[in-house]
Amino acid sequence: MPRHLREVDELIQRPRDDDAADQRAGDRDRDHLAPVVILEERAAEHRNRRRADQEANDHDCRVHVSEHAASYVATMSSTLPVHDGYVTIDGNRTWYRSVGADAPGRLPLLLLHGGPGATHQYLQPLEALAHGGRRVIFYDQIGCGRSDHPVDPAFYTVRRFVDEVDALRAQLDLPAVHVLGQSWGGMLAMEYALTRPPGLASIVVADSPASMVLWVSEANRLRAELPPEVERTLREHEAAGTTTDPAYLAACEVFYRRHVCRLATWPDCVNDAFASLATDGFVYNVMNGPSEFHCIGTLKDWDITARLPEIDVPTLLLSGRYDEATAAVVAPIQAGIRGSEWIVFEESSHMPHVEEPAAFNAAVRGFLAGVESRRT
């Protein structure tokens, strides 16, 4: 994701139907230009900033975040044992990184990133969970990041990603494991739990739907609350099929700044993940579509709501107050998975692990410790 334009920041604060507020914001806009004109005028800058982010694609998450997040991102320490490698699945390589070591009575935590088509990078703050005696295992899903990138669209199915989790566990010798999935990763975690794999101790489902139809409905409800000129830009480019246009991407960013990550300055691990997605959005476009609310990919009709009662492992649901995974999206999951717990982070949107890392990590640690105490 490119660094954020000042004009986009102002648009985020503007009410949709308040003419007086519109006028005040208009007075603040440089040269009194309409916001969409500004977005189009600055398209070249937007594109250049995206290119600069792409150059940081493989960097570790550097600390340029708000003070409340900095201490948790900074806990990523070289003192922890770290091992990078690949597993091979049906001839394709999947990259992984294992951080930390398991203390007696503690099980490893396997992290499933979002997208589909993103990378492990934006989950790097969760490396803090390795402190105190727990392996935390990141990986780039097939088609993403440092893993191999098959080019056949038909290759990318939900079942393929479920099988990848199984293969990772087998080849990394994870007979018992917790699984945490964020966004699409949470969808994948639920799909994996539905296969009832042996040794799955628990799942943590962060910021995820059980129905893409409901997800898109809620995303479009949130989108309707955007400033009219931003909504108009989105609608016009979607109708024209020009969803790679910088003006469309900048308009999407207004939504993302409200409902994906609300930090004034995004940490580089988040920017790096978005830059990777911008560099290679193949999987995202095949399975999702051009944006969070314009879902025209193979997942557009995905819905496991009716099967949620089949999930029989301890489940923790996490979401943000301003999340695109709204309360209406998460509530059916809590209702469907017996005994599931649900925590809402009041200052967060779609990335509470970045926006409120202390509270997020404490919630995950407490949940995992509780599950493990009941296993002994």
Tens of pLDDT, residue by residue over 26-78, are 333 323 223 333 333 333 443 344 344 334 333 333 333 444 444 444 444 45
In the predicted model, residues of the chain with pLDDT beneath 50 are: 1-77
The answer as to whether 38 is a domain residue is no
241 sits in the region (left: phi over 0; alpha: psi -120 to 50; else beta) called left
Tell me the catalytic residues: 183, 323, 350
pLDDT at position 260 is: 95
The answer as to whether 319 is a domain residue is yes
Report the predicted TM-score, pTM, of the whole model to 2 decimal places. 0.81
With vertex at residue 151, the alpha carbon angle to CA 148 and CA 154, rounded to the nearest 5 degrees, is 115
| DSSP for 106-123, written as a single string | ---EEEE--TTT--SGGG
The answer as to whether 273 is a domain residue is no
| Cα separation values, 347 from 42, 169, 228, 344, Å | 30, 34, 25, 9
pLDDT at position 331 is: 98
The answer as to whether 339 is a domain residue is yes
pLDDT at position 376 is: 66
* Dihedral angle of Cα 329, 331, 337, 340, to the nearest 10 degrees: 120
The answer as to whether 76 is a domain residue is yes
Model pLDDT for residues 193-204, shown as the tens digit of each residue: 999 999 999 999
Three-state secondary structure readout of 216-254: HHHHHHHHCCCCHHHHHHHHHHHHHCCCCCHHHHHHHHH
Domain count, the chain: 1
Tell me the residue range of the domain where 101 lies.
Answer: 67-213+299-375
Longest CA–CA separation in the chain, Å: 67
Residues 185, 191, 197, 203, CA torsion sign:
positive
Whichever domain contains 358, its CATH number is 3.40.50.1820
The answer as to whether 33 is a domain residue is no
The answer as to whether 145 is a domain residue is yes
Q: What is the CA radius of gyration of the chain?
A: 20
